[in-house]
Amino acid sequence: MTAFAARAAAALTLVVLVAAPPARAQDYPSRPVELVVPFAAGGGSELLARLLSEGLQKRLGQPFVVINRPGANTNVGTLAVVRAKPDGYTLGMASVGLAANPSLYKKLAFEPLTDLEPISLVANAPTILVVPPELPVKTLPEFIAYAKARPGDLNYASYGMGSGPHLATELFQAKTGVKMVHVPYGGGGPAALGAMTNQVQALYCRCSA
């Protein structure tokens, strides 16, 4: 299946966050630092976090330990960062969910604008549509026609309610009239596996290639 850019969907941006700036930058870090990834293992966010942690360890001389804390569209992992001691030794990866969640949840246990401090943009990748090899379509028009002929019979994956793939697919359905069933996964790795094994028939995923 040819990969199609989802022009209407915003590209993912990953941001490193810290609960508060570390004190006395000249002494930082003097011990290991936790880097929280709010997704399940095996996804792009974890890969970026591990590449980042390896570079930071080489440059700063202290281990940067990647910890996966998936759940609630990144809210579980982000809350762990917010509740950590604000000394710069607990960092977190963030994606579009951090911006979307205040509009999707009636009440969050934290305030993204005041409880977290952005450090740097890490990556920006487009969102593309992929389908299992078994699906008898080769182009986007073919996929739309195939899905329209089977309203509610096809499943689509996401990284969780309110995640980038979820919002992108809902926008796609609204624009095309396609009707599919949402199957949320805990991260990019499990969602990709679901698409590869035909458990789901569509996935808007991030591609850095």
* Cut 0.75: pTM above it: no
Same domain, 159 and 106: no
Most confident of 112-116, 162-166, 187-191: 112-116
The three-state DSSP-derived secondary structure of 82-98 is: HHCCCCCCEEEEECHHH
Locate tokens 């359905």: which residue?
173
Residue 8 confidence (pLDDT) above 60: no
Structural domain for 180, as ranges? 126-206
Report pLDDT digits (tens) over 31-46. 999 999 998 888 888 8
CATH code of 114's domain: 3.40.190.150
pLDDT grade for 20, boundaries at 50, 70 and 90 = low
Number of domains composing the chain: 2
Same domain, 195 and 146: yes
Same domain, 117 and 17: yes
Same domain, 118 and 145: no
Average pLDDT, stretch 17-36? 75
Q: Note whether residue 2 is domain-resident.
A: no
Helices (H), the chain: 44-60, 75-83, 96-104, 112-115, 140-148, 164-176, 188-196
Q: Note whether residue 1 is domain-resident.
A: no
Report pLDDT digits (tens) over 167-187. 999 999 999 999 999 999 888
Same domain, 93 and 114: yes
Look at strands 33-37 and 64-68 and give their pairing.
parallel
